Structure 1
């Protein structure tokens, strides 16, 4: 008896559709719906080379203002030499260093942080949400330039941006958005096909008991934003929106625009569903059920939370000591700030 199967539905996605989702391509059209943002474009090629090189290497200066310094605590008695002396011999001649190879960009990032306060970074398409494990606050909140370097260097999502950008010949940009604490329960992904919403889903894969009672109110907000703002201002008819709807549920923030393509996470839907759902005036807002089990009970981005850099560091006592000291210094500073409040 032949086995039954479902053929994968074709979901065409052009190079132009991918490029239309680059942040700077759409930001000006939706500026009133996006948190305050600064875009540095194009970034110098040395910055991209810095992100692509192996390991996580931070600037060895500005120790008076940053705890993320590449200089460990000296301890000559125990055989530890100064960072500048011990590590210099190991550095390759072609190693990219922020303060040497792109000092203007380094200072520009510092100036933006001084202007906006804490920021969250991204490249052309992606935010390093999968790398929050590397910061003690476990978020993408960056209060200094070295935190931005840490996040971008540790993120597989950023690696994907670099690969796509090179393949398509795009200029790279660094986006610094003013950071604010998002309630993950109120982030949603909206799928628009041929100018019609065909589905919506919560982004955080955990159960929140109050969301079901808000379904109609949320869908009204999604409908209004898509029909009155997104469709008239975005060049493609099919796309995926990431929206944030904070209390009191009367304003929609646009977080990102993604291609309507299989590379975009479909979350609680399958792409076959999204490609074949009959477009109607009504659509389903999928929420995590109370008995949240299986893959939806796992931690977001868990597949990316043991990166190669940490594995490599675990094999090198000097490298793991460096990482441990950086984290310890930050925790001590945060504790001091907490005690002083």
Structure 2
């Protein structure tokens, strides 16, 4: 993998070419001061100056200079240095305007990654954001974004840098009716589509068994008509979403191998399929026994919902019911 292959997968690079077949997105260059703010772990967790405790998520993060721990008696000689909260007024105004234009709710993403690992800190358990304060807290709380900020080129054979010269924040329109079972990862080797995998592999969706053949045809046609001639790398992956009216939307691009998950395939299998010229294969979770609960994935797991009634909640319910059935079976008592 080359640096140029990684660079092509940055959202600010691919989105302009695929805007007409993707999710509506506004992209803003990050001030370098904000990028450094995301990386700074040398002191207390300070929210931007514009964010008061009332604006922060309940029972989550507060401005530490307002906490009792930072209060000392006058003249004690232990007075701490004054802590100045970071301030990004122009950047915040642009973000606010974009959120309003996109309908009032977005999910954030940097050049390559979304802060999916910090979704737990939001009140909804998702990456849905309606204010700059929510975006700042999700980004500042995420460990996965360290990949974008420090390690994006670690797997490159021609690595010359550890970070891109500029960072970007993409604000992607939030769709509340997003169906995770209709998201798929597509694997391209030598400019040929060699495999497609269900993206959310922690749940069995019976409806996919019925739609499998149709979905495969739709995605293959979409690749030939819209992706193959536009994306310049030979080897890569891309994620798509199939809508209820059978339109295909590009969600993301990722490099072949390295930190990209092969999901229901292995990289060895995909390499072999490409070498031997096998027919295109779409893999889905065929039964509840086929789910992979331990596999770390991401719906535009940017969209991951762990609240009651969500896919994750239903998965845990199903697993519990199956365990109870197994313990009651004759074989269990043998």
TM range (shorter): 0.7 to 0.9
Q: Does 1:174 align with 2:169?
A: yes
**Could you tell me how far apart the structure 2 residues matched to 1:113 and 1:162 are?**
24
**Aligned positions of 1:68-107 closer than 5 A:** 68=57, 70=62, 81=68, 97-99=85-87, 102-107=88-93
Aligned match of 2:308: none
Q: For the residues of structure 2 that align with 1:90 and 1:194, how far apart are their CA atoms?
A: 59
Residues 227-280 of structure 1, C-alpha deviations (whole Å, 9 max, x = no match): 1100111111221011011213x1011110111123211111111111221464
User: Aligned equivalents of 1:91 and 1:212: distance in 2?
Assistant: 62
Superposed, which structure 2 residues align to 1:129-208 within 5 Å? 129-164=116-151, 167-181=162-176, 182-205=178-201, 206-208=203-205
CA contact (8 A) 1:120 1:179 kept: yes
Equivalence map 1:47-126=2 (5 Å): 47-54=34-41, 56-61=45-50, 63=52, 66-68=55-57, 70=62, 81=68, 97-99=85-87, 102-116=88-102, 117-126=104-113
Q: CA deviation at 1:293?
A: 5.6
- 8 Å contact 1:66–1:144 — kept in the other structure? no
Structure with the higher fraction of residues in helix conformation: 1
- 2:258 paired with 1:282: no
Change (3 A) 1:233 1:164: same
Residue 67 of structure 1 and its aligned partner are, at CA, apart by 4.1
236-245 or 160-169, which deviates more? 160-169
**CA gap 1:21/1:198 in 2 versus in 1, 3 angstroms:** same
> Counterpart of 1:269 in 2: which secondary structure?
coil
> Are residue 24 (structure 1) and residue 21 (structure 2) matched?
no
Query: Per the alignment, do residues 196 and 44 of structure 1 end up closer, same or farther by CA in structure 2, a change over 3 Å counting?
Result: same
Asked whether the equivalents of residues 59 and 70 of structure 1 are also in contact (C-alpha less than 8 Å), the reply is no
- The residue that corresponds to 2:224 in the other structure is 227
Name the CA distance, whole Å, in 1 between partners of 2:19 and 2:197: 24
What is the CA distance between 1:171 and its match in structure 2?
Answer: 1.3
How many Å separate the matches in 1 of 2:82 and 2:286?
53
Q: What TM-score does the superposition give when structure 1 sets the normalisation length?
A: 0.73
1:70-120 per-position Cα deviation (integer Å, ceiling 9, x unaligned): 359x9xxxxx7498x67xx66776x7x342xx2211222122122221111
C-alpha displacement at 1:138, in angstroms?
Answer: 1.1
Q: Is the 8 A contact 2:119 2:126 kept in 1?
A: yes
* TM-score normalized by the length of structure 2: 0.74
Number of aligned residues: 275
1:192, CA displacement in angstroms? 0.7
SS in 2 for 1:297: coil
The CA deviation string for residues 289-339 of structure 1, in whole angstroms up to 9 with x for no partner, is 313367x0247559xxxxxxxxxxxxxxxxxxxxxxxxxxxxxxxxxxxxx
Mapped contact 1:110–1:145 kept (Cα < 8 A): yes
- Whether 1:269 and 2:265 are equivalent positions in the alignment is yes
Q: 1:131 to 1:67 in 2, by over 3 A?
A: closer
- For structure 1, the residue ranges without an aligned partner over 5 or more in a row are 1-12, 75-79, 303-341
Cα gap change, 1:275/1:170 in structure 2, threshold over 3 Å: closer, same or farther? farther
CA distance in 1: counterparts of 2:168 and 2:239, whole angstroms: 20
